[in-house]
């Protein structure tokens, strides 16, 4: 029942503060015999790393992962895998104003209300740097589910959406926005740059599809695959909304338009002629692509002064200095992929344990 551990069978516990010497994850429940080394993890961290474009935060971290346990002669042993990433670029002075007043829309006040006003510096653990540990753990999770392909991309920034007709997966890594629509990527370059110069920020919508998930994963009633995905995504910094398949749009369809009819397919498995369900029915995977959509709010750390209160409770104004993302949804994309991998790996093992 640890609140710093995620997962039921394939589990990971993260540790580390933004301004501490390092952060990391201990991955437990990874089956033995899988090939693993740092090179299997590093690319995912690089995709997430700050400082990769002028559109993301200006903090520069190497984010180099080390594997300290759980691997022998290049393969997982079945024992806990300890991953560590050192923090190399902390600038403590950037947070001096924060120590005195609460940043609106951030977790400062809530953290103080929970942990107490004198002993806790919430920014350390609530910071998005912890997601580096999640991404590293997610890379290990992918080894457990080689049959699955996971792809996440941004479909919308600041209300400006891609055109599904222009969808080209090859574009996703060809621009700084994980955008599958080249035309939208150009518009977003201007949009985000302008927001950055204005000292403002924008929200985003990220979609993630997992193909190759076999029918059967998911454990009703309180281990449902969609419920676990919802928790995993809603738990990412700045996420305020999660949909499966058609999501809220399904709420506006009639039943006969929302059904996914079946035909006989190959190998005795059904072939679905639509996917309104997003690959999950009754909490169990159907074999259709699993489709999740995640809504990120605009970054709370902005340069425009906001009305707030100090720790003593007096009124004040606060504009956050320092280095921040004008659109956290962009760097949230590899995190969404990582959480998808972590939940699916967990459910594969959970199903195997339940059914054999």
Cβ closer to its own copies: 59 or 129? 129
224 is in an annotated binding site: no
**Should residue 56 be labelled a site residue for its own copies when binding is judged by CB under 8 A?**
no
Residue 215 near residue 286 (C-beta atoms within 8 A): yes
Stretch that binds its own copies, among 55-63, 163-171, 181-189, 251-259 (CB under 8 A): 251-259
93 is in an annotated binding site: no
Site for its own copies in 274-333 (CB under 8 A): 276-278, 280-287, 295-300, 302, 304, 306-309, 313-315, 329
**Should residue 171 be labelled a site residue for its own copies when binding is judged by CB under 8 A?**
no
For the chain, the residue count is: 356
Separation of alpha carbons 199 and 319, rounded Å:
10
Whether omega for the bond prior to residue 132 falls within 30 degrees of 0, making it cis, is no
Cβ closer to its own copies: 118 or 170? 118
Site for its own copies in 196-215 (CB under 8 A): 200-205, 214-215
Three-state DSSP state, 45: helix
Site for its own copies in 17-36 (CB under 8 A): 17, 20-24, 26, 28-29, 31-33
Stretch that binds its own copies, among 53-61, 162-170, 175-183, 232-240 (CB under 8 A): 232-240
Angle between helical axes of 328-355 and 225-234 (0-180°, round to 10): 150
CA 304, 307, 308, 309 torsion-angle sign? positive
Residue 294 near residue 241 (C-beta atoms within 8 A): yes
Q: What are the phi and psi torsion angles at 156 (to 5°)? A: -165, 135
Site for its own copies in 69-88 (CB under 8 A): 69-70, 72-73, 75-82, 84
Task: Count the neighbouring beta carbons within 10 Å of the beta carbon of residue 73.
Answer: 6
52 is in an annotated binding site: no
Separation of alpha carbons 99 and 254, rounded Å:
52
**Should residue 227 be labelled a site residue for its own copies when binding is judged by CB under 8 A?**
yes
**Should residue 177 be labelled a site residue for its own copies when binding is judged by CB under 8 A?**
no
Cβ closer to its own copies: 276 or 323? 276
237 is in an annotated binding site: yes
- Which of 187, 224, 321, 323 is in the footprint of its own copies by CB under 8 A? 224
What's the closest the beta carbon of residue 49 comes to its own copies, in angstroms? 20
- Which of 109, 151, 189, 211 is in the footprint of its own copies by CB under 8 A? 109
Site for its own copies in 125-144 (CB under 8 A): 125-126, 130
**Should residue 146 be labelled a site residue for its own copies when binding is judged by CB under 8 A?**
no
Separation of alpha carbons 128 and 347, rounded Å:
26
127 is in an annotated binding site: yes
Cβ closer to its own copies: 138 or 298? 298
**Should residue 188 be labelled a site residue for its own copies when binding is judged by CB under 8 A?**
no
Stretch that binds its own copies, among 45-53, 136-144, 145-153, 249-257 (CB under 8 A): 249-257
What's the closest the beta carbon of residue 341 comes to its own copies, in angstroms? 16
Q: What are the phi and psi torsion angles at 237 (to 5°)? A: -45, 130
- Which of 60, 120, 169, 183 is in the footprint of its own copies by CB under 8 A? 120
Lookup result for tokens 């190497």: 62
Cβ closer to its own copies: 79 or 174? 79
The secondary structure element, H or E, covering residue 315 is: strand 315-318
Separation of alpha carbons 128 and 201, rounded Å:
16
Separation of alpha carbons 89 and 175, rounded Å:
25
Cβ closer to its own copies: 164 or 307? 307
| DSSP notation for 47-116 | HH-TTSSTTS--------EEE-SSEETTEE-SS-EEEEEE-----GGGGTTTTTBPPTTSSHHHHHHHH-
What's the closest the beta carbon of residue 170 comes to its own copies, in angstroms? 25
């Amino acid at each position: 029942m640890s609140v710093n551990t995620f997962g039921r069978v394939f589990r990971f516990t993260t540790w580390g503060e933004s301004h501490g010497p390092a952060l990391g994850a201990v991955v437990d429940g990874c089956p033995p015999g899988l090939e693993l080394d740092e090179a299997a993890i590093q690319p995912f961290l690089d995709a997430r790393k700050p400082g990769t474009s002028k559109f993301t935060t200006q903090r520069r971290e190497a984010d180099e992962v080390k594997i300290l346990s759980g691997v022998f002669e290049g393969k997982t042993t079945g024992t806990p895998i300890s991953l560590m990433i050192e923090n190399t670029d902390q600038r403590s002075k950037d947070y001096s104003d924060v120590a005195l007043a609460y940043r609106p829309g951030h977790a400062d006040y809530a953290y103080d209300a929970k942990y107490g006003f004198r002993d806790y510096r919430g920014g350390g653990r609530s910071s998005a740097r912890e997601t580096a540990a999640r991404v590293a753990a997610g890379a290990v999770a992918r080894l457990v589910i080689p049959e699955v392909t996971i792809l996440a991309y941004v479909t919308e920034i600041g209300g400006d959406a891609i055109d599904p007709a222009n969808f080209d997966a090859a574009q996703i890594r060809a621009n700084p926005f994980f955008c599958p629509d080249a035309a939208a990527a150009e518009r977003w370059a201007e949009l985000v740059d302008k927001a950055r110069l204005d000292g403002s920020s924008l929200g985003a919508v990220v979609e993630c599809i997992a193909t190759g998930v076999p029918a059967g994963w998911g454990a009703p009633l309180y281990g449902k695959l969609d419920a676990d995905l919802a928790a995993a995504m809603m738990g990412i910094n700045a996420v305020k909304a999660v949909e499966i398949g058609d999501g809220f749009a399904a709420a506006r369809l009639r039943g006969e338009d929302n059904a996914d009819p079946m035909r006989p397919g190959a190998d005795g498995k059904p072939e679905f002629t639509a996917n309104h369900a997003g690959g999950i029915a009754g909490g169990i995977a159907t074999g259709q692509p699993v489709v999740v959509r995640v809504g990120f709010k605009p970054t709370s750390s902005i340069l425009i002064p906001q009305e707030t209160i100090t720790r003593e409770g007096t009124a004040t104004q606060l504009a956050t200095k320092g280095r921040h993302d004008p659109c956290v949804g962009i760097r949230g994309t590899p995190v969404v992929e990582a959480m998808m991998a972590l939940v699916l790996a967990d459910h594969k093992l959970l199903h195997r344990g339940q059914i054999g």
